[in-house]
Chains A and B, each alone.
Chain A
Amino acid sequence: MKTLKNISFWLLLVVIAGAAIVPIAQGNVSMREDAFFILMLVILASSTNIIMGYTGYVSFGHIVYFGTGGYVAFYLMQTFQWHFVLAALIGGFAASLLAFLLGNAVLRLRGAYFALSTIGINEAVRAFVSNFEPFGGSIGMFFNFSMYDAYGGAKNAGQYAYYAMVVLALATIAASFLIKKSKFGLGLMSIREDQDASMVLGINPPRMKVITYTISAFFPAIAGAIFFFKNGLIEPGPAFELHRSVEALVMVMLGGFGTVTGPIVGAVVYERLRAFLITSETFSNFHLVIAGALLLLIVLFVPAGLVGWLRLRFAAVRRFLE
């Protein structure tokens, strides 16, 4: 694995870990809450990028795996008192299994048809969960407060969830980097550029796409498990919120489609921008208008995204900025 000897790989992970430590070191809870949310967006954007940026399959409803992982883990913790880490991992595998089964069917579709089918999947799963009694139907599920006692009380559980999110974010970024620089990743990018030509070059697109889709479902599912563990409450609406999927796409586009750092930069910039607009007196009422206009400008004038633009513009950047 040449990537493990790559300095920018380690540098990136160290920078993310370093930034994530700051709120803890300062003991600033509100900053930690912000960082928790940003890291979650980084995970959503990076995993969307694996299937969308590397493979060229725009998964519009990727949030379905966030909700699925959240629900499965929540159910195991609430009903069987499973430990959070184990429940989250099972939630991740459950979502991957779902992605594997669905992927075999929907990854045969191309372009807009695939994108539409992923929205359909999200809506169908949401409708199913809303009517599935073991998961609490449309009311959802909530934790008894004493559930957090196993983790040293609710306050500690919040801290604990934060660490879990940091570790998951690092794992997602590492996976994204390793895939991008591997033979497998090269195959994915070849599929993105020309699927039929790839087949003639010896690539088996159906198999590679399903594997990729399965991987890209794993990380958001665990993020969902962590998020709803901390939340203490899960409902179909917030678990399968389509606009969060769309936001993840915006972050990927903003930062740079198909790059490793792009989705990270995109998630941070997007979240900070939104936080600024929402709290600003002048802009708060039309922050979505500004965000929308910004997206339009990016797509029109910097389609490669921030990181993509830097990479195209400065050859020297390409060596260390993936």
Chain B
Amino acid sequence: MILSVENVSKRFGGLQALDKVTLSVNEGEIFGIIGPNGAGKTTLFNTINGVYPPTEGRIKFRGEDVTGLPPFDLSKRGLARTYQVVRPLGELTVRENVTVGACFGRENLPLEKAEKVADEVLEFVGLTARQDMLASKLNVAQKKRLEMARALAARPILILLDEVLAGLNPQEVGDMLTVVRKIREQGVTIIMIEHLMHAVMNLSDRVFVLDYGAQIAEGTPQEVSNHPKVIEAYLGDPEVAKRFLEGTPS
């Protein structure tokens, strides 16, 4: 077990964003997190990687208690993430962005070695041709790849992908899925938040469903998609429910 989240709750004033969430992720798997808008998925990521400390509960990463540690500490331990709303370092070049990831990530590389790693990762995600552009000048799909590259350059053990497919066209989605599969082949464990159902259902080994901050289901994609609570939380609409069950793109 690489990550375990035990009874984690997060309150913002009167809002219960997470309510006693418990989950565990095994090494090498792709773990999907789904749930309607506002279910607390991104908050869960933020508590896992230390952006906010949880109000209660414990988080263990590779057997060590990391509850309340700051994000830069977790990054050094091998946890990387991408943002749903991309956050490029706009006035730096694409290559510099990725070099930052390699410099300050798990391996804490010196600058010149980090630049080499950055070149490899840029090749891997297919951004080599854009390496000297300012990151702010990339289009959305390229910025998503940049987020991914920056996280990968840290040579993480576990990567949190927050809606890397959102806003991409079908062609770009296909390319991105290939990248995600290749990351897994390298032995990196992946937790992904995704709205695109056919992608989560195809890629994930296990899926976790969150609604109003609480777990409503967990299991293989098939188990989860047949779970009555999940269908209810998401849909209520039989037509959409049918499409959902068949796993076709929504």
Contacts and interface: CB of A to CB of B under 8 A. Distances in A.
Contacts of B51: 196, 199-200
B110 interface: yes
B155 to A, nearest CB: 11
Contact of B72 (A2, A186, A192, A202): A202
Contacts of B70: 199, 204
B105 A190 contact: no
Contacts of B90: 193-194
B189 interface: no
Interface size band for A:
20 to 34
B89 A189 contact: yes
Given A194-B89, A199-B71, A201-B154, A186 B112 contact: no
A194 B71 CA distance: 14
A200 B87 CA distance: 11
A183 B103 contact: yes
Interface string A187-217: 1011011101111111111000000000000
Contacts of B67: none
**Most B Cβ at <10 Å: residue of A2, A198, A201:** A201
Q: Name the prevailing secondary structure of the A interface residues.
A: helix
Nearest to A204: B72
Interface stretch (B21-29, B34-42, B94-102): B94-102
Interface string B89-131: 1111000100111011110101110100000000000000000
A192 B90 CA distance: 10
A201 B111 contact: no
A182 interface: yes
Given A190-B92, A196-B51, A203 B111 contact: no
Given A186-B111, A187-B103, A190-B100, A197 B87 contact: yes
Nearest to A2: B112
Interface in B37-68: 49, 51
B99 to A, nearest CB: 6
Contacts of B80: 200
7 A-B pairs closest in CB distance: A202-B104, A202-B75, A193-B89, A197-B87, A183-B111, A199-B71, A200-B71
24 contacts: A183-B103, A186-B103, A187-B100, A187-B103, A187-B104, A189-B89, A189-B91, A189-B92, A189-B96, A193-B88, A193-B89, A193-B90, A193-B91, A197-B89, A199-B72, A199-B75, A200-B49, A200-B81, A201-B72, A201-B150, A202-B75, A202-B104, A202-B108, A202-B154
